[in-house]
Structure 1
C-alpha cells in the first residue's frame, strides 16, 4: 500500500504556537514568567515580549497534557522524512544535551563507541559522564578545500597532533590529579579537556597521553590570541594531569 508523501508546507510546532496565542490561554505551568506577565518590566523593555510569548511548553502548551494533537510527533516525522531517517527526536537546551543523550542511548560504562577525533567537546563531556571507552577514528583532511571530511572506511594514518588514549576519559577526569608546568606535561596523561574555542574540538582529551607537539601548539596558540576556556589554566602555562601511580600515596 502506497503512503502519500508528507506535506512539508506544514509546520506543526509553529502552527501550534500560533493557535496557543489565538486562544488566549492562561498558563498554569512553567515557565514562571507566564508569557511575560511575571517578567521584570526592564527585561521586557530590553528584550521585547516575543521572547516570552514564544517560550511555551510542548505539553500543556503547544499540545495538551496527553499530547493528543501529536504536535511534536508530526513535526519529528516531517524532519525524519526530510533527512531520510527512520526517526528524529527534538531536544531543547542546546545541541550539547542532545549529544549526551544520544551517547547514553547507545553505550554504557566501559562499552566502546566509535567517534570521529574532530568531535565537539560536548562528546568528550558525554564520555566522562557515561564512562564510555572511545574508539577514535581520524577524519580525512582535504588539502584543497582546507577542511576535514567525516571518517570513512579508509582511515588515514594518525598525524602529529593525534594522541594515544591510555585511560577512560571518566577515570582520568575524576581520578587524582595535579597541575604541572606545560614544559613538563609531555608524556603525562591529561586529566582535562584542552579545547581551542572556536571551533570547540579538543586538542587533548582526558585520558590521552600528552605530546610535545600538542602542548607547543596550545602554548603558541594562546600567545597568538587563542582561547582555551576549559583548561584549569586558560593560559596553558600549567596543565592538569593524572597523578602517576608511584606518586599516588
Structure 2
C-alpha cells in the first residue's frame, strides 16, 4: 500500500544516520537549521509528539515537590508531567466565555496573583494558542515571570506556523517565552508524532532540557519523522511567507462569502478578544482581499 520508498527511507538509527550517543552531526545540524529559521537559541526534535516535549520542559524547570504555575486548561501531557516529576501544581483558571462556551488562556493578572501567593514557584506554563485559536498575553506573562527570575513555558502545540507570517499572532519566542513547544503535525506538514521545542535565554539550562527529553524519549526514533521535520523547516524558510499569504487570503475570501449568507455570522476578534477573554487570535485579511 505504501510502496517501497517509505521502507527504504526508514533507516536504523544505530549505524544509520545518528543515534543518541554516537552522532554524525546530521540530527544536530537539522536542529540548528530549525533554530536559525525561527530565531531560537536551541531547538530539539521529538518523535514522540508534544506530549514528550511538554513533559521535558516541565522536568527541566522544576523538580520533585517544587511548584509550577499552570493553567487549568491543561493538556493531559501536563498532568502526566506532574505525576512523573512530583512537581506540585499551582492551578490558574482560564478565562471562560459563558456565551460561546470557550476557555481562553488565563490572564496575566491571574498568573500574577498565583505567584504572589506562591513566590517559590519555579515558573509558569500556559497553553497558547488554544485549540480554538485564541491566544494569551504572552508578552505580559513573560515580563511578569522574568521580573521574578522565573521562566515562561508555552505549550504552543497549535502554533507551529506562527513564526512565518507577520499577520499571525505573535510567536511565543518573540513574545519573550523561554521554552515553547510546537506540534508540526498539527499546524505544519510533519508526520504524526512530530514535535519541536525551542529554547531562548538562560533561565532554563539547555543541557537539562536535552537530558530530560532523552530520559523520556524512545531509543528507536523514526528517521521518517526527523526527515519530515527538516523538510517542513526548509519549506517554511523558503516559501512560508507566500504560502501563508495565500492561505490567509483564502480564509479571508471564505469568511467574506459566508458573512453574505443570510442568518450566518462569522466570528471576529470582537467575539473572542477583550477583557476577561482572549488577548489575541488568528487574523484574516480585510474584506476584498482575494487569493492570488
On whether the aligned pair clears a TM of 0.5, the verdict is no
- The structure that is helix-richer by fraction is 2
Pair member with larger Rg = 1
Relative to the length of structure 1, the TM-score reads 0.37
- Give the structure, 1 or 2, with the largest relative contact order (CA under 8 Å, sep 6 or more): 2
